[in-house]
Amino acid sequence: MSTLTKIFVVILVVLVLFSSVLFISLTVTTGNYKSLYEGEKTRSQVAEAGENNYKLAADSYRTLFNNQVSLRTAESAAHQAAMVDKDKQVSEAKLTVKQNSDLLNDLNIKVGSLNQNLIAAQKQNTIVSQTLDRERQDKDKLAAQFLEQTARLNSMMNDNDIQAREITALKEGKAQVEQDYKEMMRQAESSGGLPKTTAPQAAVKIDGSVTAVNGGVAQINLGSTSGVKKGMKFFVYRNDNFVAYLQIEEVDAGRAAGVITDAKRDVRQGDKVSTSLE
């Protein structure tokens, strides 16, 4: 039951009481004036009492109404405050949503950048892998070349052993060859230039160059296929200047070695040799 309904019931009860008093007064009224006066006075008092009760009821109603209005006003103010608070919360929620949206966009941008970096890194890894494959291939080639060079070095070492034996044999015959040409040396020194005596002539003039020098022994790039024979003597010269004689002691198909004699200068690799200076 609402407050307004309660107020209405109270007023109705007051009116019923007032009507009951009037009815009772009329019922007991006598013809006596005094009694009538007393009755009238009583009615007047009852009416006044009813009016007072009505005023009290009206005041009560007004008070209850004002209290209800105040309560409704307070509730409305509270509701307005709640609405303002809700609006504030909604605004804050919207701001939070916007911030989260901006953060999400930033994260999406960063993720895109990371994806691009990942793609670039994958491409770089592919390039590095290809480079490593090429380097492995180059390494394999270098290993094969190393093995080939090692084999060549072993072959050259074997050749050096052969040359060492040849050099030993040439050194053993060097003393005898120098003795044979002492007289020729004296003639060269007395003339102050190239010696007048020539080396033993070959059927055809043979020209070549020195390919190696080891002490008093030299090797040339001429052999038996070029007509070189053991005991043959070559002139060694450099820029048209006499350097020494080379007495051949060992002959192969494509090379020969001999003892250096009557040296005016040190024999070097690259010096020219010939069977005749004419």
pLDDT, tens digit (0-9, with 9 covering 90-100), for 165-194: 655 555 555 554 455 555 555 655 565 444
More confident residue, 207 or 35: 207
Q: Answer yes or no: is 161 within a domain.
A: no
pLDDT at 4 over 60: yes
pLDDT tens digit string along 102-158? 888 888 898 888 888 888 888 888 888 888 888 888 878 877 887 787 777 666 666
Contact 244, 210 (CB under 8 A): no
Range of the domain at 192: 181-274
Provide the β-strand partners of residue 236.
244, 273
For residue 198, what pLDDT band results from cuts at 50, 70 and 90?
Answer: very low
Rounded Cα distance between 230 and 257, Å, is 9
Q: What is the dihedral of CA 74, 80, 86, 91, to 10 degrees?
A: -150
Domain boundary among 67, 88, 109: 88
Give me the CATH number covering residue 208.
Answer: 2.40.10.170
Domain boundary among 68, 88, 108: 88
Q: Answer yes or no: is 34 within a domain.
A: yes
Rounded Cα distance between 49 and 55, Å, is 10
Q: Answer yes or no: is 69 within a domain.
A: yes
pLDDT value for 100: 86
Give this prediction's pTM: 0.33
Report how many domains make up the chain.
Answer: 2
Q: Answer yes or no: is 130 within a domain.
A: no
| Nearest CA among 214, 229, 224 for reference residue 255 | 224
User: To the nearest whole number, what is the mean pLDDT of the chain?
Assistant: 79
pLDDT value for 175: 54
